[in-house]
Amino acid sequence: MSIENDFKGKRVLVTGAGKGIGRALTHQLHEYGATVYALSRGEETLASLKAECPSIITVCVDLIDWDKTQEAVSSIGAVDAVLNVAGVGLEEPFLEITSKVFDEIINVNVKSVVNVSQVASKAMILAGKGGSIVNISSRMARRAFPGCAIYSASKAAVDMLTKSMALELGPHNIRVNSINLGGVWTPMWADSFQEGGTGRADLEAFKARVLPRIPAGNLFVPMQDVVHTVLFAASGLTSMLTGENIALDGGYCVT
């Protein structure tokens, strides 16, 4: 069976669907014929996504709001797969970390994964057919980057949460994996590097520091690589892949 045929007719929830990786996954799932529940807090981005993928079902909610997120995900019912893509990558040097930034990173990157996955898993169990959950993590869960202490900590938490979820949900035929991504050129990254952006990064300095540590020789992971890897992990093409933190970083974490 091809991955396209595997997803045809399946119900998939994608968080962070409005931009970047979530948007690319939504497009591919729509093309495969899946019923996609595209969740994002941005009404405008969801509206433009709906225009591009008319059959998707948009869900507008801020994942920081625990109760409203539970209501929104509960209203969807049982899905076959959950792709926890939503995340924030705010940067602050360790000595300048603020309570506001700490809370936002942890609430979006970790707490929302717990909340969404908990509600979705309960629905999967009630439906009695199992499913798959894929959490988007980062190479920064394994390797420290300057100015990214809390982001790295949040993704390390996602990796261990993934293993714990796999252990507890496995008896219900629910597989859980995380993908440790290298850099992927998304609007968030572009904003960090472009003149006038909110980030502090210098692209040439970043390239000089990071590229020598990537055996594959590409500074950024191609979006199609991300889409294919995430969807394979989420698909029914594998029944024994669970509890894994899968590095998709061009080999950065082996150096």
Task: Give Cα 139 to chain centroid, integer Å.
Answer: 13
Run of H or E including 67: helix 66-76
CB 21 within 8 A of CB 136: yes
Residue 240 DSSP code: S
Active-site residue numbers? 151, 155
- Cα–Cα nearest to 159, from 182, 175, 136, 143: 136
Burial class (CB in 10 A: 0-12, 13-18, 19+), 24: buried
Any idea which residue has 């992927």 for tokens? Answer: 184
